[in-house]
């Protein structure tokens, strides 16, 4: 495992995101919807730095199962979301890889008639996008490597790491620690 983004770098990146989001929304009320489960750490750190009226909810979106490192069909569950009708919404996710999760989740949210939808991601993986959409806020650009830590997992392991690391090819395919 190789550290790609340190704890200090993450703290600075989340601070930059918070500053950009605050500049855009000022003191307008904002509803933040986090994509489970990978963005929970980002959600917690980000909302503590935003100084505006906030509502928070989550949506479950999953396209990877078990040991798979390739995308399957996206399954969305919005049962844990607040009503977003007429609200400014910021969708946050841990990583922007192919873009399918973000685009399909935005389409789901758009059907709920919010006033606006913007998106923020911790990581944007270079060279993997398959959709014509770019997140509004990106903390870090990363190389095309399998990333864990700071909420991101491999077979539900490594989410608790306080930094972002890449797994070596030999680390994939076996049982996680």
Known catalytic membership, residue 97: yes
Torsion of CA 167, 172, 174, 177, to 10 degrees: 20
Write out the two tokens for 143: 């190389």
**So what's the architecture of 2-145 in CATH?**
3-Layer(aba) Sandwich (3.40)
- pLDDT above 50: residue 41: yes
pLDDT of residue 71: 54
The answer to whether residue 65 scores a pLDDT higher than 60 is no
Give the pLDDT confidence score for residue 17 in this predicted structure: 97
Q: In what side-by-side order are the strands of the sheet with 54-62?
A: 75-77, 54-62, 30-36, 88-96, 116-125, 137-142
Tell me how far apart the alpha carbons of residues 126 and 161 are, in angstroms, rounded to a whole number: 22
- Residue of 88, 93, 97, 153 with catalytic role: 97
* Cα–Cα distance for residue pair 141/160, rounded to 1 Å: 21
What is the arithmetic mean of pLDDT over 107-118? 95
Q: What is the pLDDT of residues 78-98, one digit of tens each?
A: 778 899 999 999 999 999 998
Q: How far apart are CA 120 and CA 123, in angstroms?
A: 9
**Tens digits of residue pLDDT in 129-162:** 888 899 999 999 999 999 999 999 998 899 999 9
């Amino acid at each position: 495992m190789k550290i790609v983004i340190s704890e200090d770098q993450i703290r600075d990146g989340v601070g930059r995101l918070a500053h950009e989001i605050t500049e855009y929304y000022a003191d307008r009320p904002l509803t933040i919807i986090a994509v489970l489960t990978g963005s929970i750490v980002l959600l917690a750190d980000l909302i503590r730095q935003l100084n505006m009226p906030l509502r928070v909810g989550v949506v479950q979106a999953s396209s990877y199962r078990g040991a798979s490192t390739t995308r399957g069909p996206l399954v969305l569950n919005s049962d844990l979301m607040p009503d977003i009708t007429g609200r400014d919404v910021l969708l946050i996710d841990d990583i922007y890889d192919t873009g399918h999760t973000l685009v399909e989740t935005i389409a789901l949210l758009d059907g709920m008639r919010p006033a606006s939808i913007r998106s923020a991601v911790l990581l944007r993986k270079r060279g993997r996008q398959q959709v014509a959409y770019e997140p509004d806020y990106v903390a870090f650009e990363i190389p095309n490597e399998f990333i864990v830590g700071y909420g991101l997992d491999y077979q539900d392991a490594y989410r608790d790491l306080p930094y972002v690391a890449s797994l070596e090819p030999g680390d994939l395919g076996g049982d996680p620690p």
